[in-house]
């Protein structure tokens, strides 16, 4: 069995020198939790410039779906780089963009009559969805959720409601967006319990919101993450999206699924909305779509994507290399990785639930496929958030060579590459257990 190999104190001398330069010349707005400097990587293993080797359960924030530098993806990138680096899909046609658009159109839930807009990131995919929803409906209001993360450009940021630091000093943002509570059953914002609540959070939209402050016929879209990501890896009840989409349909409101983090096989299905039996009107994709090459895609029904030439575009969006990397990624997902995500996800979840039996501070273990979160609490009855323990666990795990990230206020996220093996999960679980017992004893 392969283990992380930490040879120096962290950061080692070479990493420390680079971080010193970074401090002088790179934006201080980034949120580095610990001083990892990645030099090269393969699969789930990252090497730093001091010869230390780490086990990566972050996949570069749920991006390296096929593992770091998967040879099939790297070869596709090399091949494409030898042929065509750029021509701009805004003004010209090229094979890789057209082929990927056709593939995504057919992969998306529904009957395949979809069209694709290409950008470079998750925020751009959301931004495009935001603009298309307005363009198509000619309505000005929108609904999004507390805890949602949709990106940091001004439009996407207006929909985001994850942390105030992300919004501080940026107001006024785009008006007309109302944030409502997500179906966070572990801490129900309405103090109800599932299933007795009968999905009261959805009823509230029609019975209260639409009767008091928001005329439904003025609402363009509901923007929703199938599983809330940055907000804490929160899985809503099975009928939540179906019921909410019913309400949306009744009033001609578009259902926009932000699958930037949950999509592309991560949850064991190509798109997380498939777990909920919902066909969204518009979907935003990015992160795992091209195994680390920058790419965002907004997929919408053809009868919705009817905006005219010039109404939206991007010079770099749908870069030929990124599109080829996405096609290679999808080949791997379809061949075996989506299935691996489901199988290994269950294995990881079972391991975490076993730990939960004896480790009090593991308040909630939840997720689908390889989108798994563990919410740490000081006390299982009061559910007091153990944010300090969460942060300490992540720091200590790093010192032991395991890379983890947080999400929400007190949740640890496990979002490894979809290539993860049972042995790698065993190593992760043993370091996680040891760390958790040290921190929360």
- At its nearest, how many Å lie between ligand PLP and the CB of residue 31? 11
CA gap 177, 145 in Å, rounded: 10
How far apart are CB 154 and ligand PLP at their closest, in Å?
12
- Residues 414 and 373 sit within 8 Å (Cβ to Cβ): yes
Tell me how far, at minimum, the Cβ of 158 lies from ligand PLP, in Å.
Answer: 13
b (16+ CB within 10 A) / e for 315-344: ebbbbbbbbbbbbbbbebbeeebbebbbeb
β-partners of residue 365 are 374
Q: Rounded to the nearest whole angstrom, what is the least distance from the CB of residue 258 to ligand PLP in the complex? A: 5
Strand intervals (E) in 83-158: 114-119, 141-145
Residue (351 or 367) nearer to ligand PLP, CB: 367
Which residue's CB is nearer to ligand PLP, number 162 or number 419? 162
- Looking at beta carbons only, is 229 or 367 nearer to ligand PLP? 229
In the complex, residue closest to ligand PLP by CB = 122
Instruction: Between 185 and 234, name the residue whose CB sits nearer to ligand PLP.
Output: 234
Is the Cβ of residue 286 or residue 397 nearer to ligand PLP in the bound state?
286
Residues that bind ligand PLP in the complex, under the rule CB under 6 A: 121-123, 126, 149-151, 225, 229-230, 258, 260-261, 286
Q: Based on CB atoms, which residue is closest to ligand PLP, 15 or 235?
A: 235
Q: Please, what is the minimum distance in Å from the beta carbon of residue 349 to ligand PLP?
A: 21
Q: Residue 283 forms beta bridges with which residues? A: 257, 299
Give the nearest distance from C-beta 233 to ligand PLP in angstroms: 11
CA atoms in the 13 A half-sphere facing the CB of 221: 28
The backbone torsions φ and ψ at residue 114, rounded to the nearest 5 degrees and listed phi first, read: -130, 160
The 3 state secondary structure assigned to 245-308 is HHHHHHCCCEEEEECCCCCCCCCCCCCHHHHHCCCCCEEEECHHHHECECCEEEEEECCCCCCC
Instruction: Confirm if 158 and 174 have CB atoms less than 8 A apart.
Output: yes
Nearer to ligand PLP, 314 or 435 (CB): 314
Are the C-beta atoms of residues 259 and 273 closer than 8 Å to each other? yes
CB of 278 to ligand PLP, least distance (A): 16
């Amino acid at each position: 069995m392969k283990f992380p190999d930490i040879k120096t104190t962290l950061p080692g001398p070479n990493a420390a020198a680079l971080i010193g330069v970074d401090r002088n010349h790179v934006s201080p707005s980034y949120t580095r939790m610990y001083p990892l400097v990645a030099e090269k990587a393969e699969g789930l293993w990252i090497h730093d410039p001091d010869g230390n080797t780490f086990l990566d359960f972050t996949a570069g924030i749920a991006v390296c779906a096929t593992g770091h530098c998967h040879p099939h993806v790297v070869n596709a990138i090399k091949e494409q780089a030898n042929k065509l680096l750029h021509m701009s899909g805004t003004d010209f046609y090229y094979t890789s963009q057209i082929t990927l658009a056709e593939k995504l159109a057919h992969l998306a839930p529904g009957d395949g009559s979809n069209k694709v807009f290409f950008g470079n990131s998750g925020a751009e995919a959301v931004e495009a969805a935001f603009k298309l929803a307005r363009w198509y409906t000619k309505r000005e209001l929108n609904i999004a959720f507390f805890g949602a993360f949709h990106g940091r450009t001004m439009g996407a940021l207006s929909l985001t409601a994850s942390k105030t630091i992300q919004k501080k000093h940026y107001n006024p943002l785009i008006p007309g967006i109302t944030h409502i509570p997500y179906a966070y059953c572990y801490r129900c914002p309405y103090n109800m319990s599932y299933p007795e609540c009968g999905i009261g959070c959805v009823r509230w939209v029609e019975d209260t919101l639409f009767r008091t402050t928001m005329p439904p016929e003025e609402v363009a879209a509901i923007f929703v993450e199938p599983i809330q990501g940055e907000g804490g890896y929160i899985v809503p009840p099975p009928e939540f999206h179906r019921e909410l989409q019913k309400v949306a349909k009744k009033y001609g409101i578009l259902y926009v699924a932000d699958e930037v983090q949950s999509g592309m096989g991560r949850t064991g299905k190509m798109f997380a909305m498939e777990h909920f039996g919902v066909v969204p009107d518009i979907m935003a994709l990015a992160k795992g779509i091209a195994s680390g090459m920058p790419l965002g895609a907004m997929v919408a029904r053809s009868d919705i994507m009817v905006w005219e030439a010039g109404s939206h575009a991007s010079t770099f969006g749908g870069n030929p290399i990124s599109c080829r990397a996405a096609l290679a990624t999808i080949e791997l997902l379809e061949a075996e990785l989506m299935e691996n995500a489901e199988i290994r996800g269950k294995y990881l979840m079972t391991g975490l639930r076993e730990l939960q039996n004896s480790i009090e501070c593991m308040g909630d273990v939840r997720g689908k496929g390889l989108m798994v979160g563990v919410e740490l609490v000081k006390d299982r009855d009061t559910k007091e958030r153990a944010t300090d323990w969460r942060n300490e666990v992540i720091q200590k795990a790093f010192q032991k060579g395991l890379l983890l990230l947080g999400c929400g206020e007190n949740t640890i996220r496990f979002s490894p590459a979809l290539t993860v093996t049972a042995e790698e999960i065993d190593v992760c679980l043993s370091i996680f257990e040891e760390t958790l017992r040290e921190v929360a004893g």
